[in-house]
């Protein structure tokens, strides 16, 4: 056998062993995009504890990171405003009692025909006003978590309205709190948390509720969390022009901690595109080429224009047609 024929036969064997040809096709109806995200506490399960009154924090019964139960005593305050609230309630109770007695006398006198009807009406009005003031002072005490028949000390007990974890603590024992709108501490129930994806503006149109999402975290390499988008923000963030898409996850084991960085992979619909494996691409100076089959075991190099990648696939904008076959592996041997 001539040497050239033997070389051709040998190269054909190498090609058949290393080359893989493939017909071209369109992209899948969906593809995945990776978006940065962060773990956040569910705001529906987060409570800021505010001081009901101004005063001094005499006792602090919890530390940052403590787990608390609903109704547990968190702190005790000494407040002169509480004494004032008790005093207002006592005055209102006394005024109501006096108004009721005056009404009884007016009714007795009126039944004997000894006074005018306007005097009786005034007595009834006084009772109504005294009742309203009494109810107001009682509601005030109730909002402070005390009752008018309590021991009436200046100590005010602050209890946990919900179960959760103390995630922020802004005051220490002995601090004087003169702003009733300042948060003493924050309690968050982390049995469920949000993973919030910060979606770029140009991808907002692809978002929708109940969209599948796959989450990975730097803290747990190789582990994935699967969920669905629960809410999509109605507005974009003014500073980043990104939209927040939130995926709700159960977190009873406490592994997902607020402020952890996450990567969110979303499956989004896409228009039909011609896709080829990235292994088919060959770099030729400043151009990207592939080998296209023109006849059985006959190939020609052709320059292509590529678009976005999706895993190990890349879209082709021009250069080959969907009806053609290309070398998808081992094309570098032909290149040599």
Question: DSSP label at 179?
Answer: -
User: pLDDT for 84-107, tens place per residue?
Assistant: 788 888 888 899 999 999 888 888
237 and 323 share one domain: no
115 and 173 share one domain: no
Residue 214 has what pLDDT?
93
Q: Do the beta carbons of residue 165 and residue 257 sit within 8 Å?
A: no
171 and 131 share one domain: no
CATH classification of the domain holding 162 = 2.40.30.170
53 and 194 share one domain: yes
183 and 248 share one domain: yes
d(CA 20, CA 327): 6
Residue 19, phi then psi, degrees to nearest 5: -80, 150
Alpha helices in the chain (DSSP H): 3-18, 80-111, 117-143, 331-335
189 and 314 share one domain: no
Beta-carbon contacts of residue 314 (< 8 Å; ≥ 6 apart): 275, 276, 277, 278, 281, 306, 307, 308
Residue 191 lies in a domain: yes
CATH classification of the domain holding 314 = 2.40.420.20
Residue 276 has what pLDDT?
82
Residue 120 has what pLDDT?
82
Residue 215 lies in a domain: yes
Say how many domains are in the chain.
3
Q: Do the beta carbons of residue 84 and residue 55 sit within 8 Å?
A: no
Residue 188 has what pLDDT?
93
Q: Could you say which of 269, 296, 311 is where a domain stops?
A: 269
Residue ranges making up the domain that contains 127 = 84-143
Residue 148 lies in a domain: no
pTM equals 0.57
18 and 127 share one domain: no
Residue 166 has what pLDDT?
94
73 and 97 share one domain: no
264 and 276 share one domain: no
Q: Could you say which of 226, 241, 269 is where a domain stops?
A: 269
Residue 322 has what pLDDT?
82
Report, as ranges of residue numbers, the positions in the chain whose pLDDT lies below 50: 1-15, 17-18, 27-28
98 and 227 share one domain: no
User: pLDDT for 148-171, tens place per residue?
Assistant: 566 666 678 888 999 999 999 999
Residue 251 lies in a domain: yes
Residue 296, phi then psi, degrees to nearest 5: -50, 120
Residue 109 has what pLDDT?
81
Residue 321 has what pLDDT?
84
Residue 1 lies in a domain: no
Residue 149 lies in a domain: no
Residue 3 lies in a domain: no
48 and 103 share one domain: no
CATH classification of the domain holding 127 = 1.10.287
Q: Could you say which of 242, 269, 296 is where a domain stops?
A: 269
Q: Do the beta carbons of residue 242 and residue 198 sit within 8 Å?
A: yes
Strands 55-60 and 298-310 come out as unpaired
Residue 211 lies in a domain: yes
39 and 187 share one domain: yes
């Amino acid at each position: 056998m001539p040497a050239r024929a033997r070389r051709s036969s040998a190269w054909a064997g190498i090609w058949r062993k290393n080359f893989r040809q493939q017909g071209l096709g369109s992209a899948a109806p969906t593809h995945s995009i990776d978006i940065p995200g962060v773990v956040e506490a569910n705001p529906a399960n987060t409570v800021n504890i505010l001081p009901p009154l101004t005063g001094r924090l005499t006792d602090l019964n919890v530390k940052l990171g403590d787990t608390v139960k609903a109704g547990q005593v968190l702190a005790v305050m000494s407040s002169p405003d509480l004494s004032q609230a008790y005093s207002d309630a006592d005055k209102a109770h006394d005024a109501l009692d006096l108004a009721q007695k005056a009404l009884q006398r007016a009714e007795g006198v009126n039944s004997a025909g000894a006074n005018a009807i306007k005097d009786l009406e005034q007595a009834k009005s006084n009772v109504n006003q005294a009742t309203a003031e009494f109810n107001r002072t009682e509601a005030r005490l109730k909002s402070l978590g005390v009752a008018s028949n309590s021991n009436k000390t200046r100590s005010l007990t602050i209890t946990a309205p919900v179960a959760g974890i103390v995630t922020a603590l802004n005051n220490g024992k002995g601090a004087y709190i003169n702003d009733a709108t300042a948060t003493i501490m924050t309690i968050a129930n982390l049995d469920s948390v949000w993973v919030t994806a910060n979606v770029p503006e140009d991808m907002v149109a692809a978002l929708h509720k109940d969209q599948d999402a796959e989450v990975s975290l730097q803290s747990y390499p190789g582990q994935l969390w699967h969920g669905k988008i629960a809410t999509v923000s109605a507005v974009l963030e003014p500073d980043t022009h990104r939209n927040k898409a939130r995926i709700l996850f159960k977190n009873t084991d406490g592994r997902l901690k607020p402020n952890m960085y996450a990567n969110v992979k979303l499956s989004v619909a896409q228009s039909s595109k011609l896709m080829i494996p990235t292994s088919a691409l060959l770099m030729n100076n400043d151009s990207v080429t592939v080998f296209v089959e023109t006849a059985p075991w006959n190939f020609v190099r052709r320059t292509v224009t590529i678009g976005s990648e999706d895993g190990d696939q890349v879209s082709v904008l021009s250069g080959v047609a969907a009806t053609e076959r290309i070398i998808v592996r081992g094309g570098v041997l032909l290149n040599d």
